[in-house]
Amino acid sequence: MRSGMTTADERKARLAAELRANLHRRKAQARASTADAARAGDTPPSRPSASSPGDQPDI
């Protein structure tokens, strides 16, 4: 434990570091799958745009 850190503070710091590491890993995996799809000539699945006409409510 670092000096001045309580057990709760240390636990929060560990959790934050773990969450950051998971986020970086997921981003790297997403980049890799997009690159793999581009090399294979496939297009990765896209999310529909919020501005597409089908998403707008009829008034």
Within a domain: residue 48? no
Chain-wide mean pLDDT for the chain?
81
Within a domain: residue 25? yes
Highest mean pLDDT among 4-8, 9-13, 36-40, 45-49: 9-13
Domain count, the chain: 1
Within a domain: residue 58? no
Within a domain: residue 8? no
C-alpha distances out from residue 44 to 18, 33, 38, 41, 52, Å: 28, 8, 8, 10, 19
Name the residue range of residue 22's domain: 15-39
Within a domain: residue 23? yes
Q: What is the pTM of this model?
A: 0.51
Element (H, E) at 38: helix 7-40
CB 3 within 8 A of CB 14: no
Within a domain: residue 6? no
Within a domain: residue 35? yes
Question: What are 13-25's pLDDT values in tens digits?
Answer: 999 999 999 999 9
Sign of CA dihedral 51, 57, 58, 59: negative
